[in-house]
Amino acid sequence: MMNPFVDFEGMNDNQLENKINEITKKYFMTHNADLKYQLATVLNMYKEELFNRRQKVYQEQFEKQKGLDNLIKVN
């Protein structure tokens, strides 16, 4: 579920982590079930964005290492 009011474009990974921590604190502070549902939805969006960014970096590093395999010859 996408929320049109959540924008990840101008945020770096540290800002995403800070936002995740902030929303998590707010989630546990409230007793309103509807608000908890909304916070959980937004929290999942931030976590998914951070996961996708980290996965992309991992994939890029993996591809670089794959290219190095041809340089090492073991007889």
Domain assignment present for 40: yes
Domain assignment present for 47: yes
Number of domains making up the chain: 1
pLDDT digits (tens, 9 = 90+) for 8-48: 888 999 999 999 999 999 999 999 999 999 999 999 999 99
Which pLDDT band, with edges at 50, 70 and 90, does 60 fall under? confident
Are the beta carbons of 23 and 46 closer than 8 angstroms? yes
Domain assignment present for 38: yes
Residues spanned by the domain of 21? 13-70
- Please tell me the predicted confidence (pLDDT) of residue 13: 94
DSSP string, 16-56: HHHHHHHHHHHHHH---HHHHHHHHHHHHHHHHHHHHHHHH
